[in-house]
Amino acid sequence: MRGHFYRRGCKCKKKKCICGSKWAFTIDIGLDPITGKRKQKVKSGFNTKQEAEEAAATLIHEVNQGIYLEETDKAFSDFAAEWLPVYSDSKDVKPGTIRVRLHEIGKLLTYFAQLKLKDITRKMYQDALNDLKDQGYSDSTRDGINRTGRMIFRKALELELIKKDPTEFAYVKKDKKTIEQLEEEEIPKYLEKEELALFLETAKYNGLEHDYLVFLVLAYTGIRVGELVALKWKDVDFINHNISITKTYYNPNNNTLEYQLVTPKTRKSRRKIIVDEEVIGALMKHKEVQNEVIKRIGKDYYDQDFIFAKMERKFGYPIVIKTVQNRMKRLLNMADLNSSLTPHSLRHTHTSLLAEAGVSLEQIMDRLGHTDDQITKNVYLHVTHEMKKEASQKFCELMRSLR
């Protein structure tokens, strides 16, 4: 394999270089498959000829073993832009996830935008994660940024654009939490059964359009608010009393006209939920009212079969999630309940009441459309633990009464 060593940029006319130029080498590494001409590798920056020779020997060994890799000069920003559509297509990613990934890429661009992929070191990447912590970004946000960074660099490694993955040993620094903080985080807030009854009663007598039915369905099924807003009448089986969850609603800008219906969060999220007669009855009454509106409005009604459709202005379009959130806050305030709760809290409420009713964790997970969800498990374990404590107390009281 032909090649030679030299001092790059040396203008000294003497045998001994006195200008301090670095050593370099130029070595043949094979033929270009398209042109048939020889390909050469040039590398410089060595302090001694011996260093250059050792580097050249390593290169020659890699070429001879068929493991030589020509790293790309592509900048991080350019490759990240190429990666996103590939990631989207390969995993059938939802628009909301793409939006999150774009946000996370934006954070990484602050540190690496114009740097070449091959020049980003493990230290540089770890320093970036540490700096994000110093700036006050939460653990979950930094976890997400790190996940995105790993996917980008692993794809570059897979495509043989880089030799080493700078994210390989990276970690997200986290502060140690107190027992109180851990307990507060692990068990989300939800309504007790008496509170739920009060909330639904408030919605029934003081709610605005759709309020009672919206919160009745959320509380009695545990479905996500996006799944609720996407529901169509064809999803309801009035005979067998079940609701099919086959899609979810996406509308990040809360623009009534610009919604999308996308596939559920996970494969397990596609499910049928058996519902109570009370829910079926309330849905039937709502359908009758809606049919009257459709008859009255005629062609001006956007008739796409949505259950929770607007009955004033932009008739027929599905209500936006923000409306559900605002309505819930209003009703919680009216009922003097915890106003920090959200529609998702009703999902946790549903979990807690099923657990209290003796339904198994496996059945609850199936109903909620989960394969594995730690928060659901924590709610279940919290409720069942309290029930076990109560059983123990009752046993002790019984034994004391016999003395």
Q: What is the CATH number of the domain that holds 148?
A: 1.10.150.130
Are 330 and 247 in a shared domain?
yes
Above 70 in pLDDT, residue 277? Answer: yes
Are 132 and 231 in a shared domain?
no
How long is the chain? Answer: 403
Q: Which residues contact 241 (CB under 8 A, 6 or more apart)?
A: 274, 275, 276, 277, 280
Query: In this predicted structure, what is the pLDDT of residue 293?
Result: 93
CATH number reported for the structural domain that contains residue 261 in this entry: 1.10.443.10
For residues 29 and 259, what is the distance between their CA atoms, to the nearest angstrom?
55
Are 100 and 202 in a shared domain?
no
Closest CA to 229 of 261, 267, 272: 261
Above 70 in pLDDT, residue 185? Answer: no
Query: In this predicted structure, what is the pLDDT of residue 15?
Result: 74
Are 15 and 131 in a shared domain?
no
Are 54 and 115 in a shared domain?
no
Domain end residue (candidates: 38, 65, 92): 65
Output 292 or 394, whichever has higher pLDDT.
292
Q: How confident is the model at residue 18 (pLDDT cuts 50, 70, 90)?
A: confident
Are 37 and 97 in a shared domain?
no
Mean pLDDT of 293-307: 94
Distances (CA, A) of 390 to 151, 235, 356, 380: 48, 40, 12, 15
Are 198 and 136 in a shared domain?
no
For residues 146 and 125, what is the distance between their CA atoms, to the nearest angstrom?
9
Above 60 in pLDDT, residue 183? Answer: no
Contact 282, 207 (CB under 8 A): no
Model pLDDT for residues 24-51, shown as the tens digit of each residue: 999 888 777 777 888 888 888 899 999 9
Distances (CA, A) of 122 to 127, 137, 177: 8, 21, 27
| Domain containing residue 169 | 76-175
Above 80 in pLDDT, residue 208? Answer: yes
Is 232 in a helix, a strand, or coil? strand
Are 330 and 201 in a shared domain?
yes
Q: Where are the alpha helices (DSSP H) in 113-186?
A: 122-134, 139-158, 179-186
Are 120 and 148 in a shared domain?
yes
Flag whether 188 is in a domain: no
Contact 102, 148 (CB under 8 A): no
Flag whether 305 is in a domain: yes
Quote the tokens at residue 397: 């009281």
Flag whether 89 is in a domain: yes
Flag whether 348 is in a domain: no
Are 205 and 310 in a shared domain?
yes
Flag whether 311 is in a domain: yes
Neighbour tally for 166: CB within 10 Å: 24
Flag whether 168 is in a domain: yes
For residues 306 and 156, what is the distance between their CA atoms, to the nearest angstrom?
44
To the nearest whole percent, how much of the chain has pLDDT over 90?
59
Average pLDDT score, the chain:
89
Neighbour tally for 92: CB within 10 Å: 9
- Provide the domain count of the chain: 3
For residues 231 and 70, what is the distance between their CA atoms, to the nearest angstrom?
52
Flag whether 382 is in a domain: no
For residues 170 and 146, what is the distance between their CA atoms, to the nearest angstrom?
8
Model pLDDT for residues 337-358, shown as the tens digit of each residue: 999 999 999 999 999 999 989 8
Quote the tokens at residue 126: 């770890």
For residues 371 and 355, what is the distance between their CA atoms, to the nearest angstrom?
17
Query: In this predicted structure, what is the pLDDT of residue 14?
Result: 72
Domain end residue (candidates: 336, 364, 391): 336
Domain end residue (candidates: 317, 336, 355): 336
Buried b (16+ CB within 10 A) or exposed e, 54-91: ebbeebbeebeeeebeeebebbbeebbeebbeebeeee
Above 70 in pLDDT, residue 69? Answer: no
Query: In this predicted structure, what is the pLDDT of residue 68?
Result: 65
What is the pTM assigned to this prediction? 0.69
For residues 137 and 104, what is the distance between their CA atoms, to the nearest angstrom?
12
Are 152 and 238 in a shared domain?
no
Q: What angle do CA 298, 300, 304 make, to 5 degrees?
A: 85
Are 209 and 142 in a shared domain?
no
Flag whether 377 is in a domain: no
Neighbour tally for 106: CB within 10 Å: 13
Question: What is the side-by-side strand order in the sheet with 3-7?
Answer: 3-7, 23-31, 38-46
Above 90 in pLDDT, residue 180? Answer: no
Contact 353, 220 (CB under 8 A): no
